[in-house]
Amino acid sequence: MKYRIFFIALLIPLTVYSQKKPAKQTMVKVQKTSLSREQEMQLGKEAAAQVEREMDVVKSQEVETWLNQIGQQLAKTPQANAYPYYFKLINEDSINAFALPGGPMFVHTGLIKAADNEGEVAGVLAHEMSHVALRHGAAQMSKQQTWGSIFGAIGALGGALGNGGQCTLWCQAVQMGAGLGGNSMLMKFSRGYERDSDLNGARMMAAAGYNPIELGNFFQKLEAKQGTAGQPKGLEAWFSSHPSPGNRVTYVSEDIQFYPKASYPTSTGNFARVKQTVASLAPPKLKPAALVQQAQGGTPRSDLPQGFKDYRARGFAIVYPASWQAGQPQGSGSLYVIPQGGAKQSQNNGVELLTGAMIDYYVPQSGAATPDAANLDKTTNEFLQSLAKGDSSLKADKPARATVGGKAALRTKLTTKTSNQTDQVVYLYTVPREAGLWYLVLAAAPTQISEFDPVFNQMAQSVTFPEGQN
């Protein structure tokens, strides 16, 4: 019986939670930060581009319109602090949502599935938007390090690039521990910041015409599911980045007593249909930009050749000389594994490989994945043709059969010239994978090829792919 009473208590008017009105309303303040609003928006723009490279964003006009109807209603309120918010859905069954500095916001499909009504979704959006409006992420980054004090690095490669370059805001943020993971300073906040975002979010909801108590209800409903058989996917990670600052329903209810008396009629009326659409989505697609990133956790390989290190990505593993560096340059989804000076920034702000390795996926023009060897010759030829269009000096030998990571592969020897008109020899390995055509590029000058051949062979032979992935 007491469980039923508790359930009803989450839904009934706020006066039940506090018999006595607090003396004054809790103050919520916008945090001070050394970042300008323009820098915040630029940082959010760069981070959002990275999200879309790594995660499966749902291309549904119905769902995106619905999310933006809710979000823009909230964005009009004074509590939103006039940032240019926009909202997208990510095809991921874990419970999560996050807003990036400056306004981009992403909601996981798992959160929509866990919500019982539109007000709960609006509550999560209002809470996450409040982290932006109150400048929580920017404030945490300001405490970490003053902007503009990091020099000479592009992305994760540092000084391995031949001519350093200006590290963008997102590049600096990643170096300072921002990133897109649950432990990022842009995603994980203190209990004090969580409480402020709850209160600001509730006020935002009320101003937009949504029942503010739904914000507290949803968080408390999720808390009640922790440790139960019905615990949704990703719930522990959710609460790791959203630590509970106390009984959200109680302090939100106390705060509501200071609001002007009003009804809360706002609703698009489309929640049930959108939830049905979300439930029918196909499983998320693997994104190449995520598969080349270094995997977290797992057991490192113990049989490495002497003088080599292991790079374990989400989609493969490869060894490389311990004196080399591995990473993704800013603005590039490709993985570069290079010696000092093995790459340089190109004129269009890209990165040109001079000596060493580059790994990525080529997605065929049809957009279809290549999960078996049947399309290997055709897709490799299409890839070579695309390379030749941008490189008039490129010449390719006939591809030869090979095996990489226990999979059928092709090995193609290429010759070309660098942008400085220096001759270059390239070995291209291609392997069909579910996310596209996985490829390994190994490059060196002709005068150095005999020196690098043993290293290149060791690297190609060391490749492994995770079990269970095509």
User: Which residues partner with 172 through β-bridges?
Assistant: none
Top-confidence residue, 452 or 352? 452
pLDDT band (50, 70, 90) for residue 171: very low
Q: Is 340 found in the same domain as 254? A: no
**Quick one: 335 and 273 in the same domain?**
no
Domain-ending residue, one of 279, 297, 320: 279
Q: For residue 369, what are the domain limits?
A: 288-462
Asked if residue 446 belongs to a domain, the reply is: yes
Indicate whether 224 and 366 sit together in one domain. Answer: no
Q: What is the pLDDT of residue 347?
A: 66
pLDDT of 188 reads 66
Shared-domain flag, residues 62 and 154: yes
Mean pLDDT, to the nearest integer, of 376-402? 93
Per-residue pLDDT tens digits for 108-163: 999 999 999 999 999 999 999 999 999 988 887 766 554 333 322 334 454 455 44
Q: What is the model's pLDDT at position 367?
A: 63
Residue 364 banded pLDDT, cuts 50, 70, 90 = confident
Retrieve residue 175's tokens.
Answer: 């170096």
Q: What is the DSSP letter of 95?
A: -
Q: How many CB atoms lie within 10 A of CB 447?
A: 10
Average pLDDT score, the chain: 83
Is the pLDDT at 178 greater than 50? The verdict is no
Range with the lowest mean pLDDT among 4-13, 189-198, 323-332?
4-13
pLDDT for the residue numbered 360 = 94
Question: Same structural domain for residues 43 and 142?
Answer: yes
- Same-domain check for residues 127 and 275: yes
Domain membership of residue 469 (yes or no) is no
Q: Is the pTM of this model over 0.95?
A: no
Q: Are residues 105 and 235 in the same domain?
A: yes
pLDDT at 34: 81
**Quick one: 149 and 272 in the same domain?**
yes
| H/E run at residue 319 | strand 317-321
338 and 247 co-located in one domain? no
Domain shared by 69 and 142, yes or no: yes
Question: Residue 319 domain-assigned?
Answer: yes
Note whether residue 470 is domain-resident.
no
Digit-coded pLDDT (tens) for 240-252: 767 777 788 899 9
302 and 269 in a single domain? The answer is no
- Split at pLDDT 50, 70, 90, the class of 373 is low
- The answer for residues whose C-beta is within 8 angstroms of residue 419's C-beta and 6 or more apart is 346, 347, 352
Q: How many structural domains comprise the chain?
A: 2
Side chain identity at 143, as an amino acid letter?
K
Question: Which of 279, 304, 324 lies at the terminal end of a domain, its last residue?
Answer: 279
372 in a structural domain: yes
Nearest-angstrom CA–CA distance, 303 and 454: 18
DSSP state of 16: G
Residue that finishes a domain, picked among 220, 252, 279: 279
Rounded distance, CA 84 to CA 103, Å? 5
Examine the domain organization and report whether 17 and 85 are in the same domain.
yes
Amino acid in position 168: T
- Give me the pLDDT at residue 146, please: 43
Domain CATH code at residue 366: 3.40.1000.10
Is residue 139 domain-resident?
Answer: yes
pLDDT mean over 368-383: 77
In a domain, 430, yes or no: yes
Mean pLDDT of 216-241: 79
Instruction: For residue 49, give the nearest of 436, 415, 330, 469 by alpha carbon.
Output: 330
For range 355-377, the mean pLDDT? 79
In a domain, 366, yes or no: yes
